[in-house]
Structure 1
Amino acid sequence: MPESIDVLVYGGTSAGVCAAIAAADAGASVLLVEPGRHLGGMTSGGLGYTDVGDERALGGPAARLRADIAEHYAVPVGHYAGPEPHVAEQIFERWLERSGVRVEFGASLRSIAMRQGRDGAEVGELVFETGLTVSAGVVIDATYEGDAMAASGVPYRVGREDASLYGERFAGRQELVPGMHAMPPWVSPFAGDPSGRIQSGILPQLHDTELAPVGSGDGGVMAYGYRVCLTTTADRIPFERPDDYDEEYWELGRRLFANDRRNGVERPAGRMLGLEPNLPGGMADGNSLGPVSLNVLDGSAWEYPDASPERRREIVEHHLSHTRGFLYFLSHDPAVPASVRREVSRWGLPAGEFADTGHLPHQLYVREARRMLGETVLTEHDLLAGRIPEDTVALGSYHIDIREVQRIWRWVYEHPAPIGTVFTEGYLSVPVPLYGIPYRALVPRREHAANLIVPVCLSASAVAFASVRMEPQYMMLGHAAGTAAALAVDAGCPVQDVPRERLRERLADSGQRLSPR
C-alpha cells in the first residue's frame, strides 16, 4: 500500500525546502523527497554570492534567510552577499526540523501513475527508486529539472522559443556580438590549423552545429557550470592535475591567451574565474566570467533536460571534469600568462566545504531546464512593463540574465581566403523593473494535473525565466506553492481553485511582498 500524505514535495532545492515548511506550518502532513544527499540546491551548492536584484522584492523566507545569515555571523543584514555553503544548509536543516518536516534522501523518482479525478487528471501514485511509494493530496515539483511535472504528462518547453511566438524582442538565437563573455575575433576552431585557414577537425569545447537564423527558436539552453568556492587560507586544497586531464581539451584556452598576446591584451585572473573575496572568511564564489570559463558551452546543456538518468550522470561528470581541469589549466599550463598562474595558484578549494564531494559543489548549476506550459505564460512583456497581476504571489526584479548558450564557429570571408573563427553566442543582460509573478504561472491547466504545483520550472518563456530563475525568487515561489498546497488540501479543491485572495493574505501575513509599495 502506498503511504498517504497531504503534501509531497519532490526536490530539496531552496524552493522545495520553503514549500515543505510553508505547507507544514499551515497544518498539512508533509514529506520532502530529495534525490541527492543535500538540501538547498544552489543556495548551499556553491552559489554563495546571491543574485538579489531589487531588495524591495525580498520577503518571506528570502528575507528570513538573510536575517538568519546575519545572526549566524553577528553582522548587519546584507553585510555578506551570501553565507558559506555549509551554513546555508545548516539553516535549511534547522528550519525543516522546527517545522517537523520529514525528509527522505537518495530517492529519485521512478514513475508516476496518473488518475482521473473529479476535476481532471491528478497525480496519483509516485514510486521512487528506493521503493518508497506515496500517494499525496498535492504534489509540488521543486526540482530544477521538472521531473515530476514531465512524468505527469504536463506539457512543457525546453530552450529558446522563436521570437514570433510571444513577440519578444530578446527571444530566439541572438546576434553574434562582442562582450566580456564573448570570444575575441580570429581564434581558430580547427584542431590542426591555428591559422583558421584549413578546416582540419574541430577543437573540443565547441558546439559543432549549424547556427540557426537570428530570432529563431532553436531549443538552445544557457550554459551550465559549477560555482566553485575558493579560498587563500593555509589549509586550502591546491589545484592538482586531475587523473582525467586532457591536454587537447584546453587548446582553446591556449589559443585565447595567444590571441591576447598578439593584441597586447592583459587578461587578469579575476576576469577568468571571479576571485573577489565576497563570502565570510575571505572565500570567493568562483563564477564564469571570461570567453573560456567554468561554463561548458559544447551543447551538453541542451541535451540535459530530457536526458535519461544515465546520460545526465555522464553530463554531470563531464562538467566536473571540466571544472577540475579548468582550475588546473589556469594555475599550471605554460601557455597561461605567468601573472594569471600566480594569482590562481594563491587560491584553492576550502577544506571545510563539500567534503563528501571532493570539495567541489554537490549541485550542478542547472540554470534552466524544462518550463511548464501552465494556466498562463509569463513573458518578456510582463517583466519589461513591470506588471503586477492580481494573483501575484511573489515579486521578481533581477535583470533578464541569459548566460552564454553556445560556442560555435563560422567562416569569416576575408581576403584572400575565408578564416574559420570561434564565436560565443547567446549572452544577454537586460534590466527590468519590479514585477509580479502570478500564481497561475505555478499551476498546470486543470485538465493536465489538478493537484500539481511547479514553483521552479514554472510557466514562463525562456526570456522571462532568465530573470525569475534566481534563488531568492525560488524560495518565495516555493513558499507560495506550499501555502497554496495546504489551502487546496483543506478545501479539497484543485490547486487551480485555491482562493487567490486568501492565499495572498496568508503570504502577506508571513512577510511575502506582493507589491512594490
Structure 2
Amino acid sequence: MMTNRKPLQALLAFNTSQSVADAQHDGAGWYKEAKSLIFIHWAKQAAMRKIFLLTLLCSGRLMAQEKLQADVIVYGGTAAAVTAAVQVQQMGKSVIIVSPDIHLGGLSAGGLGFTDTGNKSVIGGLAREFYHRVYMHYQQPNAWVWQAKEAYGNKGQGTPAMDGAERTMWIFEPHVAEQIMEDFIKEHQVKVYRDQWLDRSKGVVKKAGRIVSITTLQKKTFSGKMFIDATYEGDLMAAAGVKYHVGREANSVYGEEWNGAQTGILHHRHHFLTNISPYKIEGDKSSGLLPRVSDKDPGKRGEGDDKIQAYCFRMCLTNLPENRIPFPKPEGYDPMQYELLLRVFKSGWRETFSKYDPIPNRKTDTNNHGPFSTDNIGMNYDYPDATYERRKEIIKEHEQYQKGLMYFMANDPRVPEDVRSAVSKWGLAKDEFKDNGGWPHQLYIREARRMIGMAVMTEHETLSKKDVPNSVGMGSYTLDAHNAQRYVKPDGFVQNEGDIGVDAPKPYRISYGSIVPKKKECENLLVPVCVSSSHIAYGSIRMEPVFMILGQSAATAAVQAINGKIAVQDVKYETLKSQLLKDKQRLELP
C-alpha cells in the first residue's frame, strides 16, 4: 500500500523558521496525528528534524499498511454473529466481527428472554451451549438477587424454563445473555470492532464475483476470504448485489396458502374481538380516522404486498419496588395516539397482562398481546431498505409510541381504574440496559430483507410437505407472523390483518441452499439471518436459537470453502455434514 507522500514531503521540507501553524497546514493529517509536545519540540531542531520525520515516515507507512484482515469477516452483532465467529476460531481460522451494535447478542440479549424454542431437542451445537451456560448461571445462588430460586415458577414455552435432565435453561434475563455472549468472545479471543456501520453505497468491493473488502462509515476497511452477513437487515447482502425480497409474496409465487394478505383470517387473539369504531367521533366517518388506522384497502387474501409484520421492543419489566423505574413520560407524548385502546378497554377487554412472561428475579419479557398493544402496526414498511438516518427515525418513533403506551395505561385517568392501578405497579428494571435507562437497546426486527438464494424455504418445507436436502440445522416453531396492517372493514369497524399462526407438525430441516446466494451473484458470502425464504416460512425460521444454529453452520461452510479454495456454493455437503455432526449440530429428527 502506498502512503500519501505529499504531506510527508511538506513536513520534510519545512525549515525551522516556519511557524507551527504553517507546519500544521503543510503537514495536513500527518501533523495532526503527531501533534505531541515532543514532536513540536523536535520538529524545531534542525539537526534532529529529518531523522525524526524519517522515523515518522516509516511508522506512518506501517500504520498505512496495517490491514484489518482475517480469513472470515462477520458483519453484525447478533447471536448468529457470535456463534459464527466462535466456530471460525474453533476451526483454526482467523475472524473479525464488524458490529454496528455496541452490545452483542441481538434480541437474545435485547429483551427476548422468554425463548421461542419450539422442539428443543433439535437445538444443538453452540446454540445449545449458550442455553447450557444460562442453566449453569442460574445454578449459582448469587444469580438470584431479587427472588429465591424456589419461588421462580419455571415456566417456559412448551418446556420447563430449567431442564435439569438436559442441563439447559431457556428463560433468562437480558444481562445474563449479553454476558454469556461476551464470555464467548473473550474465551475464543475474537476481535470485535463495535459501532462500525457498513458504507452501504460504496463500502463493498467485489472482484470476479467475490467480496474483497468492506469499508465502514468510520473509515475502517476489513479484508477477508469469506464474509458472513449476520445482521437482521441484510445490509451486506444487499450492498453486495445479492437479490432479495421485502414484503409478502403472493400465494401464487410459491403455491402457498398462508402468504400474502390474509384479510379475514384471525388466528390469535391479536385482533378486535368486538365491533370497534375507528373514527374520531364513534360511528361518524366524516370526523376522520383515529391515529394508527390505515385508510388504504387491505388487499384480497393471498395478494402480495410490500407490508411487513410489526416491530416492537421486548421490555424487561418488574413489579419489585426497589428495582423498578416508573414508566417515563416520553418527549412529544400524545394521548390521542391511544384513543383506540380506550375503546378496547370500554368493550370489556382485559388481557393486558397475558404476555408479561416471567423470567428470573421477578422480571418479565413483555411481548405484544391483543388488538392494540406494543406492536407498532404499519409503521415500519420502509425500514428494511431505509437509510441509517431514516431507520433511526423509525426506531425513535417506535420507542416513543411504546413508552407513551405504557405511560398512558399507567397514568391516564380515562383508563379503567383496575387496569391503571395494575399497570402502574410495573416499570422498567433498573438493573437491565443500565446505559439506556432500562430501555432495550434493540428493536425487535421480526423481518426485513430476505435473500433469494440457491434454495428458497417455503411453507411446503416448514410444514413438512416437501423434503429438504442438505440440512444445516432444524426449525420447529409455529409459522408465526404478526399483524402487518390495521384497516377499516366494509362495515365501518376496525380490524387488524396479518397475524398468522400455523403449527409445524414436526421439526423440519433447513437447507444449505437457503443461507447462500446464487453463485453468479456472490461466491464468498453466507447469510444465516436474512435467509432465503418466503414471508410465512420466515415466520418460523426467524427464532433466535435457529439464528445461532445457522450462524455456526455458515461459519463451518466458510472455513471449508477457504480450505478447498472454492465458492461457498461448491462446498461438498457430505464434508460439511460430517463437521456439523462432529460439532453436535442437530440435522435430523432423533
TM-score (normalised: structure 2): 0.82
Q: Please, which moves more after superposition, 440-449 or 329-338?
A: 329-338
- Aligned match of 2:102 in 37, 46, 54? 37
Distance 1:200-1:411 versus aligned 2 partners, 3 A rule = farther
1:190-228 per-position Cα deviation (integer Å, ceiling 9, x unaligned): 22x222x32322221223322212110012200000010
Aligned partner of 1:149: which letter? M
State how far apart, in whole Å, the 2-side matches of 1:112 and 1:87 are. 34
Matching of residue 295 in structure 1 with residue 375 in structure 2:
yes
- Aligned match of 2:182 in 93, 108, 124? 93
Name the counterpart of 1:82.
Answer: 171
- Write out aligned runs for 1:162-311 (5 A): 162-178=250-266, 179-191=268-280, 193-195=281-283, 197-235=284-322, 236-258=324-346, 260=347, 265-271=348-354, 274-276=355-357, 278-297=358-377, 299-311=378-390
- Give the deviation of 1:92 after TM superposition: 0.7
Name the counterpart of 1:125.
Answer: 213
- Give the deviation of 1:80 after TM superposition: 4.8
Matching of residue 113 in structure 1 with residue 204 in structure 2:
yes
Matching of residue 470 in structure 1 with residue 558 in structure 2:
no
Moved over 6 A (4+): none
State how far apart, in whole Å, the 1-side matches of 2:458 and 2:258 are. 11
Distance 1:152-1:122 versus aligned 2 partners, 3 A rule = same
Say which SS state the counterpart of residue 313 (structure 1) adopts: helix
Name the counterpart of 2:157.
Answer: none
Say which SS state the counterpart of residue 137 (structure 1) adopts: strand
- Give the deviation of 1:266 after TM superposition: 4.6
- Give the deviation of 1:42 after TM superposition: 0.2
- Aligned match of 1:58 in 123, 134, 142? 123
State how far apart, in whole Å, the 1-side matches of 2:569 and 2:285 are. 59
- Give the deviation of 1:243 after TM superposition: 2.7
Matching of residue 430 in structure 1 with residue 509 in structure 2:
no
Say which SS state the counterpart of residue 486 (structure 2) adopts: strand
Aligned partner of 2:262: which letter? Q
- Give the deviation of 1:5 after TM superposition: 1.8
The structure having more radius of gyration, on CA atoms, is: 2
State how far apart, in whole Å, the 2-side matches of 1:46 and 1:107 are. 23
Asked if the contact 2:134–2:168 (Cα under 8 Å) also holds between the matched residues in 1, the reply is: no
Matching of residue 456 in structure 1 with residue 545 in structure 2:
no
Say which SS state the counterpart of residue 108 (structure 1) adopts: coil
State how far apart, in whole Å, the 1-side matches of 2:82 and 2:168 are. 24
1:398-457 per-position Cα deviation (integer Å, ceiling 9, x unaligned): 010011111111331xxxxxxx21110011111111110011110001110000000000
Asked if the contact 1:112–1:148 (Cα under 8 Å) also holds between the matched residues in 2, the reply is: no
Say which SS state the counterpart of residue 198 (structure 1) adopts: strand
Asked if the contact 2:318–2:429 (Cα under 8 Å) also holds between the matched residues in 1, the reply is: yes
Distance 1:79-1:8 versus aligned 2 partners, 3 A rule = closer
Name the counterpart of 1:73.
Answer: 138
State how far apart, in whole Å, the 2-side matches of 1:12 and 1:141 are. 10
State how far apart, in whole Å, the 1-side matches of 2:330 and 2:203 are. 40
Distance 1:488-1:402 versus aligned 2 partners, 3 A rule = same
State how far apart, in whole Å, the 1-side matches of 2:414 and 2:472 are. 51
Q: Please, which moves more after superposition, 311-320 or 502-511?
A: 502-511
Asked if the contact 2:242–2:521 (Cα under 8 Å) also holds between the matched residues in 1, the reply is: yes
**Higher relative contact order, chain-length normalized (CA < 8 Å, sep 6+):** 1
- Aligned match of 1:159 in 247, 253, 265? 247
1:122-157 per-position Cα deviation (integer Å, ceiling 9, x unaligned): 112211011111121111000000000000110000
Say which SS state the counterpart of residue 8 (structure 1) adopts: strand
State how far apart, in whole Å, the 2-side matches of 1:268 and 1:470 are. 25
- Aligned match of 1:491 in 558, 564, 576? 564
Asked if the contact 1:81–1:279 (Cα under 8 Å) also holds between the matched residues in 2, the reply is: no
Asked if the contact 1:174–1:214 (Cα under 8 Å) also holds between the matched residues in 2, the reply is: yes
Q: Please, which moves more after superposition, 378-387 or 497-506?
A: 378-387
Aligned partner of 2:240: which letter? S
- Give the deviation of 1:254 after TM superposition: 1.4
- Give the deviation of 1:388 after TM superposition: 5.3
State how far apart, in whole Å, the 2-side matches of 1:115 and 1:346 are. 55
- Aligned match of 2:581 in 505, 508, 514? 508
**Structure 2 unaligned blocks of 5 or more:** 2-66, 140-161
Name the counterpart of 2:113.
Answer: 48
1:269-306 per-position Cα deviation (integer Å, ceiling 9, x unaligned): 313xx224x21112111010011111001x22211101
Matching of residue 322 in structure 1 with residue 401 in structure 2:
yes
Distance 1:266-1:424 versus aligned 2 partners, 3 A rule = closer
State how far apart, in whole Å, the 2-side matches of 1:12 and 1:337 are. 42
State how far apart, in whole Å, the 2-side matches of 1:256 and 1:40 are. 36
Name the counterpart of 2:54.
Answer: none
State how far apart, in whole Å, the 2-side matches of 1:477 and 1:35 are. 20
Aligned partner of 2:246: which letter? V
Asked if the contact 1:386–1:435 (Cα under 8 Å) also holds between the matched residues in 2, the reply is: no
State how far apart, in whole Å, the 1-side matches of 2:471 and 2:304 are. 29
Q: How many correspondences in the alignment?
A: 496
Aligned partner of 1:454: which letter? V
**Structure 1 unaligned blocks of 5 or more:** 413-419
- Give the deviation of 1:26 after TM superposition: 0.7
- Write out aligned runs for 1:360-379 (5 A): 360-379=439-458
- Give the deviation of 1:79 after TM superposition: 7.2
Say which SS state the counterpart of residue 201 (structure 1) adopts: strand
Distance 1:167-1:266 versus aligned 2 partners, 3 A rule = closer
Asked if the contact 2:296–2:487 (Cα under 8 Å) also holds between the matched residues in 1, the reply is: yes
Asked if the contact 1:269–1:343 (Cα under 8 Å) also holds between the matched residues in 2, the reply is: no
State how far apart, in whole Å, the 1-side matches of 2:167 and 2:373 are. 28
Say which SS state the counterpart of residue 257 (structure 1) adopts: helix
Asked if the contact 2:83–2:126 (Cα under 8 Å) also holds between the matched residues in 1, the reply is: yes
Say which SS state the counterpart of residue 436 (structure 1) adopts: strand
State how far apart, in whole Å, the 1-side matches of 2:69 and 2:127 are. 30
Asked if the contact 1:222–1:405 (Cα under 8 Å) also holds between the matched residues in 2, the reply is: yes
Asked if the contact 2:352–2:369 (Cα under 8 Å) also holds between the matched residues in 1, the reply is: no
Identity of aligned residues (%): 41
Q: Please, which moves more after superposition, 157-166 or 129-138?
A: 129-138
Q: Please, which moves more after superposition, 326-335 or 477-486?
A: 326-335
- Give the deviation of 1:343 after TM superposition: 1.6
- Give the deviation of 1:326 after TM superposition: 1.1
Asked if the contact 2:78–2:230 (Cα under 8 Å) also holds between the matched residues in 1, the reply is: yes
Asked if the contact 1:145–1:370 (Cα under 8 Å) also holds between the matched residues in 2, the reply is: yes
Distance 1:359-1:386 versus aligned 2 partners, 3 A rule = farther
Aligned partner of 2:76: which letter? G
- Give the deviation of 1:354 after TM superposition: 0.5
Aligned partner of 1:113: which letter? V
State how far apart, in whole Å, the 2-side matches of 1:388 and 1:353 are. 43
Name the counterpart of 1:417.
Answer: none
1:57-103 per-position Cα deviation (integer Å, ceiling 9, x unaligned): 11011211111011001163577532111110110111111111100
Say which SS state the counterpart of residue 116 (structure 2) adopts: coil
- Give the deviation of 1:335 after TM superposition: 2.4
State how far apart, in whole Å, the 2-side matches of 1:319 and 1:286 are. 15
Say which SS state the counterpart of residue 207 (structure 1) adopts: coil
State how far apart, in whole Å, the 2-side matches of 1:60 and 1:79 are. 13
